[in-house]
Each structure stands twice: as C-alpha cells, then as structure tokens.
Structure 1
Amino acid sequence: MQPYLQYIVLLGAVVIVGAFIMPRKKHDSALPPQSMQNMENALEQFMENMEKDNEELVQLVRNAQLESKADATRKDQRIAQLEQKCEQLTDQLQIMHSNRVPAGQQAERPANPPSDDRITHEHPEIVQPEPEKASAPEVKTIQSRYKDLFELYEQGKSIETISKKLGMNKGEVQLIIQLAKQEGAAHA
C-alpha cells in the first residue's frame, strides 16, 4: 500500500472514532478515562500493524527487483555466450567452405614427392594428409540426413508444421532448408 493511502485510512478511522465520541460527550458529561485509553491503544496497534505491513511490502518489492536484475544479467550472459558460439561456428563454416577445392581443380602434385620424413623434419608445421583410400568416401548430403524433413517440405507443409512434427525449432528447420538450397546450388 502507498504511504499516503495508509494515512488517509488512518485519518478516516480517527474521524469515525471521533464522530462516535462527540455525540456521547453531549449526552454524557464525560467518557470514562479507561475507554479513551483503550481507543488510543487500539489506534496505536493499528498504526504499528500498518507500518509492519508496509515494511514487508517494501522488502518484497526490493527482493523482486533484485531477482529480476539477477535474472536479466544471467540472460544477457547466456545471450552473449550463444552469440559468441554462433560467431565461432560461422567462422568455422566459412573456413571449411573456403578450404573446399572444387572437383575439377585438384591441386597439382609434384612428380617425385619428397619422403614424409624429410617434409616433417624440414617443415613441422605442415600436416600430412592421410593417404587416399581406393574407394571414394560416401558423401552424405543434407537431404539424405534429414529425409523426413524434406519429405514434409516437398509435400508443401509449413515450417511450423514440420518443426512441430519433428520436434525441432523453427529456426533449425529453416537453417537446414537454407543449407540444402546452398548445397544444391554449389553442386549444380
């Protein structure tokens, strides 16, 4: 409760008590001192109770404000961490994308490559690739990894419907579809 509202309620209580006392004074010459003392005690008790309630409310508001500030700080920190992770993943994706060599432009290899021992001793920063296997590794496309998603998408289902059916976030579904489009454009 607002402090001024408490004072108004208290003033109203005093006026009501005073109204009851005034007519009796006219009819009765004097009130017994004991009833006046009881009334004063009751009003003092009422005021003390109002002050305690007011203090409790103020403390509750302070606690709520502190909790909301702490919660906002935690959320801001979490957002900053997620943004940083997103930037790292974006950088990694760009590095992976820039390191890809198109199929028709494979790097030329020297006719007589130096032995592995000589390369590693002369240039330790060079990491030797693993020897190529006889069979080409199976390339998994995004569409093959998310068959259910693309079946629903090809049926004309909305992103929201797909996300609900597959238990995924809408942003995740949009990202997968976008990446598949980019992958299709890169292979075309």
Structure 2
Amino acid sequence: MQPWAYIVLLGGFALAYALLLPSRARNKNGGADKQSLKEVEAALELYMADVERENRELLEVLDSIKTQTQSSQAALQEQLGELNGRIDAVQHRTGQLETRMAASENGLLQMALSSGKDTNAQHSAASANAIDEPSAGAKARPVSTIKLRYPQLFELYSQGKSIDIIAKKTGMPSGEIQLILQLAKQEESA
C-alpha cells in the first residue's frame, strides 16, 4: 500500500473513533468502549508494522543502489586511470616523434647546406676553369643537386601544381616538400 493510503486509513479510524465516542457515552457501556479501543489499537499496530516493514524494504533497496553506484564508480575510476595512462604514453610517443622529426629536418638542412657548399666549391672550380678557357657565350648555370634528387617534385612544381597535389602524387609529406623547395631556392640564389 502507498503511504498516503495509510494516512487516509488512519484518518478514517480517527473519524470513526470520534463518532463512536459520543454514542458510547450514551450507552455508558464500558465493555464496548474497551473493545472498540482495543480494535483501534490493533489496527494502529498493524498499520505501524506495515510502515516499518516498508521502511526496511526501502532501506534495503537504497543499500543495494548505493552498493551498485560505488562499484560502478570504482570501475569508472579504474577506466579513467587507464585512459590517463594511455594519454601519457601517447604524449610521450608524440614528443619522441617530434624530436626525431626535428632531427631529420636538421639533417636534411645540413645535407642541403653541405651540398650547397660542395656546389659552391664546384662553382669556384668551374669559374676558375672558365677563366682559363675562353667561353663563347654566357656562363651556364649549374643544375641544383636538390633538383637532381627530386626531379618529379620539381617537374610538378614547374607545372604549377600545388604542394598538396605534389604530396599526393609523390607520397611525400607537404612539410618536406616545402623544405625541399626552400632549399632549392636558397641553392639557386647562392
């Protein structure tokens, strides 16, 4: 039964008791009063027993909900700890990859600069030879060593293709393509 139903029943008993009280006074029958009083007390005791039983059941339900909530919260905390560990591992790996990538870019830059120095030395030797040998026309510009290494890249670039398209066709990262193009420009201007 719902709690409001018990309240209504209790009110009904109280009303019935109040109505019976004046009639008892008229009857002046003490035994009947005692009997009805015992009936009311028994009804109230039954009502209280029902309320207590329902309260115990409610407490048991609340305890089970509390236990389930605590176990699910512990599981979620465990998953959160595991995910935080994975995030830390990914951040560490990303840092390593960034370091390796920076080292690779520095290596490429140093190779380009050293090949540029070699090219400059070749230019100097060629200039010395050109001075020794008379030339019929304007002096020929040597081909860039970077352009020799990446002919497809420079061919696509000379056709006016974008860096993204070149990256797709050559399979190279766009950052590497930009670096190569910059190094070629530096080599040509030197």
TM-score for the superposition, normalised by structure 1:
0.52
Residue 144 of structure 1 deviates from its aligned partner by 4.4
Q: Which residue of 1 aligns with 2:55?
A: 40
Please tell me whether residue 179 in structure 1 is matched to residue 183 in structure 2. yes
Size of the aligned set, in residue pairs, is 139
- With over 3 angstroms needed to count, the CA separation of the structure-2 counterparts of 1:171 and 1:92, relative to structure 1, is closer
Q: Which residue of 2 aligns with 1:67?
A: 82
- With over 3 angstroms needed to count, the CA separation of the structure-2 counterparts of 1:25 and 1:182, relative to structure 1, is farther
Q: Deviations over 1:147-170 (max 9, x none)?
A: 444344334333334334544433
Q: Which residue of 2 aligns with 1:10?
A: none
Pick from 43, 57, 78 the counterpart of residue 93 of structure 2. 78
Residue 63 of structure 1 deviates from its aligned partner by 2.3
Q: Which residue of 1 aligns with 2:122?
A: 103
- Where does the alignment leave 5 or more consecutive residues of structure 2 unmatched? 14-42, 126-142
Give the percent of matched residue pairs that are identical in Structure 1 and Structure 2.
30
1:45-60, aligned counterparts within 5 Å? 45-60=60-75
Name whichever structure is richer in helix by fraction: 2
RMSD of aligned Cα (Å): 3.7
* 147-156 or 90-99, which deviates more: 90-99
Report the Cα distance in structure 1 between the residues aligned to 2:68 and 2:182, rounded to whole angstroms. 58
- Where does the alignment leave 5 or more consecutive residues of structure 1 unmatched? 1-16, 107-138
1:89-100, aligned counterparts within 5 Å? 89-90=104-105, 92-93=107-108, 96=111, 97-98=113-114, 100=117
Residue 47 of structure 1 deviates from its aligned partner by 0.9
Give SS of 1:67's match.
helix
Report the Cα distance in structure 2 between the residues aligned to 1:164 and 1:182, rounded to whole angstroms. 25
Report the Cα distance in structure 2 between the residues aligned to 1:178 and 1:140, rounded to whole angstroms. 12
Aligned residue type for 1:171? G
Aligned residue type for 2:189? A
- With over 3 angstroms needed to count, the CA separation of the structure-2 counterparts of 1:141 and 1:105, relative to structure 1, is closer
Aligned residue type for 1:180? A
Report the Cα distance in structure 2 between the residues aligned to 1:152 and 1:89, rounded to whole angstroms. 24
Q: Which has the higher contact order (CA 8 A, sep 6+)?
A: 2
Give SS of 1:23's match.
helix
- With over 3 angstroms needed to count, the CA separation of the structure-2 counterparts of 1:59 and 1:159, relative to structure 1, is farther
Q: Deviations over 1:44-103 (max 9, x none)?
A: 232123212321332243223312321232123223323432454355446543584421
Q: Which residue of 1 aligns with 2:10?
A: 25
Q: Deviations over 1:122-156 (max 9, x none)?
A: xxxxxxxxxxxxxxxxx994444444443443343
